[in-house]
Amino acid sequence: MDAWVVARPGPVASRPLERTTLPDPEPGPGELRVRVEACAVCRTDLHLAEGDLPPRRPRTVPGHEVVGRVDALGPGAAGPAIGDRVGVAWLRSTCGACRYCLRGAENLCPSSAYTGWDADGGYAEFVTAPAAYVYPLPEDAPAETLAPLLCAGIIGYRALVRSNLPPGGRLGIYGFGASAHLTAQIAIAEGATVHVMTRSAAARELALELGAASAAGSADPPPEPLDAAILFAPAGELVPVALAALDRGGTLAVAGIHLTDIPVLDYRRHLFEERTLRSVTANTREDGREFLRLAAAHRPRVATTPYPFAAAGRALADLAADRVEGAAVLLMTCS
């Protein structure tokens, strides 16, 4: 099969991705094989390509927002049938037996494995995945707009849950890329007032179009104190900025898997009066199912920039340079 691999982790300008031919993968026990229709490009792919997240195995195919159709079943694979449309997401497997898995926090499982990091992902014609970890997807939406839901959407939703936003509350969103624009729409549809802080003028425009109450520069104060905030930008220097924008009792959730250093915090300005700083680590399958249910109900507009499969390197470079509006999506149908 035709595939891209992370050949030499390093700056995107050094072309860390390499296009190659790999044997078609065979689904193992409990796994299914998916013929890929589209794969969205996540910032985590960029962190993997650039080596911010060290590779867990050499020459891995990145990509964990995969839409496709089941085309082969491994022994004992239960659930989806051949021909079904499914999504393959970041969480590839967990142990199911540790203290975290048993209490419903499988996102913290120390034995968890991730698509495109521990196993080959979706920048390829085919991908295999455990049947118990794929999501059924609707037939009536283009693959291009479904793909970003699978990480950008799900992780953003978990960050929203972790931000402890009260019903009808005031939510600040720092950074406005693929994940943030979906999260903002779900929050607004559920009754929140959303303020967006981002350095990109185009993203500020999109935020207002999608119903944000205000949009300002990344370090600007919001027009009112926030009950909750989510930091999507991988910029540690915004942690004190966002904490200072919280009202008493407010919570800041950091959504990214990678963050630059956080400057020294001032206890009184940033944390006292019961402000809370929380991280977000991956997601549970329950988060995924709940988000996809909300997305089906609220039908958020999914801003995408499509790329042909051959342009995976350019998609990553554009993401690194903030040149992508919404989510970059690789389409397998055009090579």
Interaction residues for Zn ion, span 64-83 (CB under 5 A): none
Residue 105 CB, nearest distance to Zn ion (Å)? Answer: 9
Contact between 151 and Zn ion by CB under 5 A: the answer reads yes
Contact between 98 and Zn ion by CB under 5 A: the answer reads yes
Contact between 128 and Zn ion by CB under 5 A: the answer reads no
Residue 111 CB, nearest distance to Zn ion (Å)? Answer: 5
Interaction residues for Zn ion, span 226-245 (CB under 5 A): none
* Residue 151: its H or E element: none
What is the Cα–Cα distance from 119 to 330, expressed in whole angstroms? 19
CA triple 135-137-139, angle to 5 deg? 160
Half-sphere exposure of 73 (CA within 13 A, CB side): 12
- CA distances, 115 to each of 48, 133, 148, 263 (Å): 12, 11, 15, 32
Nearer to Zn ion, 92 or 195 (CB): 92
Strand bridging mode 66-73 / 85-88? antiparallel
Q: Where are the alpha helices (DSSP H) in 134-257?
A: 143-146, 152-162, 178-189, 201-209, 238-244
Which of 5, 49, 66, 101 binds Zn ion (CB under 5 A)? It is: 101
Contact between 283 and Zn ion by CB under 5 A: the answer reads no
Contact between 44 and Zn ion by CB under 5 A: the answer reads yes
Nearer to Zn ion, 27 or 177 (CB): 177
Which of 25, 39, 86, 94 binds Zn ion (CB under 5 A)? It is: 94
How many chain residues touch Zn ion (CB under 5 A)? Answer: 8
Please give the radius of gyration of the chain, using alpha carbons only, rounded to the nearest integer.
Answer: 19
Which of 22, 53, 72, 95 binds Zn ion (CB under 5 A)? It is: 95
**Region near Zn ion per CB under 5 A, out of 8-16, 74-82, 89-97, 236-244:** 89-97
- Pull the structure tokens for residue 124: 């390829």
Residue 23 makes CB contacts below 8 A (sequence gap 6+) with 1
**Region near Zn ion per CB under 5 A, out of 67-75, 91-99, 282-290, 315-323:** 91-99
Beta carbons of 79 and 96 less than 8 angstroms apart: no
Contact between 109 and Zn ion by CB under 5 A: the answer reads yes
**Region near Zn ion per CB under 5 A, out of 101-109, 213-221, 223-231, 241-249:** 101-109
Task: Enumerate the β-bridge partners of residue 20.
Answer: 3
Contact between 143 and Zn ion by CB under 5 A: the answer reads no
Nearer to Zn ion, 163 or 283 (CB): 283
* Residue 215: its H or E element: strand 214-216
Binding residues (CB under 5 A) for Zn ion: these are 42, 44, 94-95, 98, 101, 109, 151
